[in-house]
Amino acid sequence: MSLTQAIKQQARWLGFLLAGVTTPETPPHFSTFECWLDAGQHGEMRYLADERARARRADPRLILPKCKSILVLAAPYAALKPSETSEGLGPTGRVAAYAWGDDYHNVFLPRLGELVAFIEAQVGHPVSNRYYTDTGPILERDLAQRAGLGWIGKNTCLINPKHGSYFLLAEILLGIELEPDPPFVPDHCGTCTRCIEACPTECILPDRTIDARRCISYLTIELKGDIPTELRPLLGYWIFGCDVCQIVCPWNRFASLQGDASFSPRPDLPAPNLIRELELTPEAFNRKFKDSPLKRAKRRGYLRSVAVALGNSGDEKTIPALENAREDIEPMIREHAAWALKIVKRH
């Protein structure tokens, strides 16, 4: 067994479903990324447009000067469709499947450290390295495609023909040469446009990018201010992320129904009761979502989205909770609750 094969085998033992190797050359779609930034389609995610970070995305060797290989890894999360009802207790929200369990950053980083230790034990000396999972200035999907893990679909997700797209990526930059895998060249999307047609906000663009400013995942997670009024009705019941373009993708009939155990649904997920969620105090929010991806939105962002979903329900049972939220300590929550209350009373 070669060193590369041994590393991939160890990666699978650590829970990574897919493992591939590529080189540190400029990612093939870097120019597309530059055009996307120049068009302002990254919204308020200013960290993506930082000049130093842009240069590093163009050349991974600016991150690790001794980089000779990049190991790209993927671990699955459960591809289940969340229910929109819950025990008759009122409207329920929808949460992106990747966020049902523990925060993948906390899950992956120790595994990546273990894999580096394994590599160093195999070669018998320290190896220059950097590892990331959605945290470093690299184009993950581009590197994954070049490492043979799949193709970038029309919905911008990386899709593997045997496992669909319900998985999370991680990378290790290494100062040793490994055997690179051939890039994944075929485009198996064909003439299918289900994701484009199903997107509630029409944010999927023809060049396999998305206008983040209209994407529900951006609006409910990355956007720190008010959700634009004209987009609020389009969010439906989504309160953290969105899986619509994955749910309709035919390739996800091959996706795992179990996924990595670390991403198994926590209690009250994937379909939280929206009235109860709107009543979360700062202490209760922090306690409930400790080590959860949902903490990224912070309480004000999360309850902002919850209020919008309650408004979209049109359910009169939500009125008391929304009226209470109009007195919340956070101005943004008060504003979105007031909007929702008007919508509900109009029904």
Amino acid, single-letter form, for residue 258: Q
Question: Is 65 within a domain?
Answer: yes
Q: Are strands 18-22 and 158-159 parallel, antiparallel or unpaired?
A: unpaired
Bridge-partner residues for 131, per DSSP?
Answer: 172
> What confidence score (pLDDT) does residue 88 get?
41
Amino acid, single-letter form, for residue 127: V
Question: Is 164 within a domain?
Answer: yes
Using an 8 Å Cβ cutoff, are 66 and 128 in contact? yes
Residue 132, phi then psi, degrees to nearest 5: -140, 160
Write down the number of H helices and E strands in the chain. Answer: 13, 8
Q: Are strands 151-152 and 18-22 parallel, antiparallel or unpaired?
A: unpaired
What is the full DSSP assignment across 173-210? EESS---PPPP----TTTT--HHHHH-TT--B-TTS-B
Question: Is 119 within a domain?
Answer: yes
Sign of the CA dihedral with 313 first, then 318, 307, and 84 last: negative
> Which residue shows structure tokens 């609006």?
219
**Domains of the chain: total:** 1
Q: What is the pLDDT along the chain (347 residues), one digit of tens a residue?
A: 899 999 999 999 999 999 999 999 999 999 999 999 999 999 999 999 999 999 999 999 999 999 999 999 999 998 865 443 344 456 999 999 999 999 999 999 999 999 999 999 999 999 999 999 998 999 999 999 999 999 999 999 999 999 999 999 999 999 999 999 999 999 999 999 999 999 999 999 999 999 999 999 999 999 999 999 999 999 999 999 999 999 999 999 999 888 899 999 998 888 999 999 999 999 999 999 999 999 999 999 999 999 999 999 999 999 999 999 999 999 999 999 999 999 999 97
Question: Is 312 within a domain?
Answer: no
Calpha distance 266→264 (Å, rounded): 6
Contacts of 244 by beta carbon, 8 Å cutoff, 6+ apart:
195, 198, 199, 200, 216
Question: Is 70 within a domain?
Answer: yes
- By residue range, what is the domain housing residue 124? 3-81+97-174
Question: Is 63 within a domain?
Answer: yes
> What confidence score (pLDDT) does residue 82 get?
47
Give catalytic residue positions: 134
| Cis amide linkage into residue 91, ω under 30° from 0 | no
Three-state secondary-structure class, residue 158: strand
Calpha distance 346→115 (Å, rounded): 57
Question: Is 33 within a domain?
Answer: yes
Question: Is 165 within a domain?
Answer: yes
Using an 8 Å Cβ cutoff, are 71 and 171 in contact? yes
> What confidence score (pLDDT) does residue 247 get?
95
